[in-house]
């Protein structure tokens, strides 16, 4: 017996991909807000987030965040932009861990957990978008556009 409105298998594309695409747009809007606040007022952000005198690093992070926003909001292959955001999150988590080991600041310790949590939260959408990219490019027969070497 088939239940209405319930997919029989987790197929690529369809409503699941649309949900993942909307998730990428939400991530883009959140990234825009956070990136702008870090870039515009890094010293205030450093004070509020308990990062001590590391406003320059927060400004750089904000600018990098904002560089991802156009791709997250309007990019054709949002999976690549989501992957870039995940990489940036993990890079910032590593910086926070380094900072936490050098200085007795609460902000970087919280930053490590927050960046890992954000990356884990984004992972399902990233994986769905990536799977869709691999199966949706009929011009090459390969979703990613890469040619096989063998």
Instruction: List pLDDT tens digits, range 67-100.
Output: 999 998 998 888 889 899 999 999 999 999 999 8
Two tokens, residue 14: 């369809």
Segment 101-117, tens digit of pLDDT = 988 888 889 989 999 99
User: What are the b/e assignments for 69-102, b being 16+ CB within 10 Å?
Assistant: bebbbebebbbbbbebbbebbeebbebbbebbee
The 8-class DSSP code of residue 34 comes to H
Average model confidence (pLDDT) across the chain: 80
51 touches 58 (CB < 8 A): yes
How far is 84 from 80, CA to CA, in rounded Å?
Answer: 6
15-134 has which fold?
A: 1.20.120
Where do the domains of the chain lie? 15-134
Q: Is 133's pLDDT higher than 80? A: no
Question: Is 121:26 a contact under the CB 8 Å cutoff?
Answer: no
């Amino acid at each position: 017996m088939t239940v209405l409105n319930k997919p029989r298998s987790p197929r690529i594309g369809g409503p699941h991909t649309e949900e993942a695409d909307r998730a990428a747009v939400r991530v883009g809007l959140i990234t825009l807000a956070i990136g702008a606040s870090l870039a515009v007022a890094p010293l205030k952000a450093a004070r509020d987030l308990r990062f001590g005198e590391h406003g320059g690093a927060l400004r750089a992070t904000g600018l990098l965040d904002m560089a991802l926003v156009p791709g997250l909001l309007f990019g054709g292959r949002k999976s690549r932009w989501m992957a870039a955001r995940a990489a940036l999150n993990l890079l910032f988590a590593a910086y926070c861990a380094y900072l936490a080991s050098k200085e007795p600041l609460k902000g970087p310790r919280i930053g490590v957990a927050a960046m890992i949590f954000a990356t884990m939260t984004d992972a399902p959408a990233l994986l769905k978008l990536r799977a869709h990219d691999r199966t949706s490019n009929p011009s090459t027969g390969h979703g990613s556009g890469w040619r096989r070497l063998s």
